[in-house]
Structure 1
C-alpha cells in the first residue's frame, strides 16, 4: 500500500445520495459523468509521483485559482485518468498555468478556443496515448482523460463555467478533450520539441 499524504482540499459529503449527481448539482463537471474523487482514489493518483500535494504549479485563469498537485490529482481522478498518466497530467497542467499561455483570454472570448495537449516521448507509448489512426477520435482512455483533465482544471480551478464566465458563441466538441500523441516515428517533420 503506498504511503498516504495529508490532503487539504474540501471534502464533499454525499451520504446516501448518488455522488455523480451531487457533482452535477455543484457544477463541477463538464456535462459528462465524473469518477467520484474519493480520498483513496486521490491518494493512488498522488502516489504515482513524488511531489508535495501542496506544491503550487501556478494559477488557472480566468479566476486565477491555485493549481496545486492535490487539486490537479482530484480533477484527474474525476476525468477518469489512470495513475500512470499523472506525470503527463502534471506537465500539461504546468503548461496550462504558464502566464504566456493566457488561460484568461482563452476562456473569456466568444471564440471556441480550447487547449490542445500534444504528448511526445517514450511515455506516450507506455501509457497508451494514441498517436496514429483516429488520434482525435474515441476509444483511447489516455487521450480522452488527459485532455478532459485540462478542461476540468479550467472549470473547477479557473472558474470558466459556461454561460457565466465562458462566453463562447457556439462552443466546440474539442472543449471536452483535445489530446493527441505526436507520431514522431512516422512524421516527415522534426518533432515539436526540436522547435
Structure 2
C-alpha cells in the first residue's frame, strides 16, 4: 500500500469537510471533494507516481511540491484519476523558473495559468476544444484547471488577498484549461512545434490576462474582421 504523509483529518460527514476546508482557506470558495486516502492513492497510481516524487518547486519561495500534494488538490477539484497525469505535467511546467510563477500569482494585474493541452490525451479524457471552450459543462476542462488553482493556493501559498494581490481577478483564476482543435487548425500543433511528435501528449502553459470577446456584426470583408481583432488586441 502506498504510504501517504499528509495529515489525516476525521469528520462525521462530507459537509463538515467542505466547511472545515473553507474555514482553513484551503479552497477557491467552491465546495470540494473530500480527498480520502483511497482516492489520493488511486490518482497517484493513475500517473505511476510515488507520493514523495517531486513534481516541482516554486522558484521564489522554494516550496517543494510533491506528487501527493498535487493528487490531494486534484481530488479536491473534482478530477477523475485519468486526468491526473495532465495536472501533474502542468504543475511541473509552471514550476520552471522561466515561467516566473511567483510574479504571476502575486501580481495586481490578475494573470492566471492558461493551459493548452495537445495530443492523444485530448480525446482520451475528453478535453473540450470547441463550442463554449471556456464555458461550463466540460468536466475535464473545469476540474483540471481548478486543480492547478488549488495547487497554487495550497502548495505555493498564493491565496487571494494575501500573496495574490489581483485588483479585480477574473474567472480564469478559478479554472482555465482548453485543448487544441487539431482537426480544424491550419497550424502545426504547439507540442509538435516545440519538438514533440504528434503521437505524444503535452501541456503548454501561458500567463494570461482576462479574455476579450471581439465581434463584428456588419462587415463581410476578411480584412475588416481582422482589423476588429487587431483593435481588440490593442485596446
TM-score higher than 0.5: yes
Secondary structure of residue in 1 paired with 2:137: coil
Q: Residue 109 of structure 1 is aligned with which of 107, 110, 113?
A: 107
**Structure 1 equivalent of residue 7 of structure 2:** 10
Output the CA distance in 2 between the equivalents of 1:93 and 1:187.
Answer: 26
Secondary structure of residue in 2 paired with 1:75: helix
Output the CA distance in 2 between the equivalents of 1:20 and 1:118.
Answer: 30
**Structure 2 equivalent of residue 42 of structure 1:** 40
**Structure 1 equivalent of residue 128 of structure 2:** 130
Q: Residue 150 of structure 1 is aligned with which of 133, 137, 148?
A: 148
Output the CA distance in 1 between the equivalents of 2:34 and 2:165.
Answer: 28
**Structure 2 equivalent of residue 66 of structure 1:** 64
Instruction: Give the Å deviation of 1:189.
Output: 1.6
**Structure 1 equivalent of residue 91 of structure 2:** 93
**Structure 2 equivalent of residue 19 of structure 1:** 17
1:11-38 Cα offsets, whole Å, 9 max, x none, are 2233467111010011100011110101
Output the CA distance in 1 between the equivalents of 2:58 and 2:86.
Answer: 17
Matched, 1:192 2:190: yes
Larger radius of gyration: 2
Say if 1:62 and 1:107, in contact at 8 Å, map to a contact too.
no
Secondary structure of residue in 2 paired with 1:170: coil
Instruction: Give the Å deviation of 1:134.
Output: 0.9
TM-score, length basis structure 2: 0.78
Structure 1 range deviating more: 60-69 or 37-46: 60-69
TM-score, length basis structure 1: 0.94
Between the two proteins, the alignment pairs up a number of residues equal to 192
Say if 1:55 and 1:69, in contact at 8 Å, map to a contact too.
yes
Instruction: Give the Å deviation of 1:40.
Output: 1.2
**Structure 2 equivalent of residue 120 of structure 1:** 118
Across the aligned residues of Structure 1 and Structure 2, the Cα RMSD in angstroms comes to 1.4
Output the CA distance in 2 between the equivalents of 1:49 and 1:149.
Answer: 15
1:55-94 Cα offsets, whole Å, 9 max, x none, are 1111136644221111100000000000011111111111
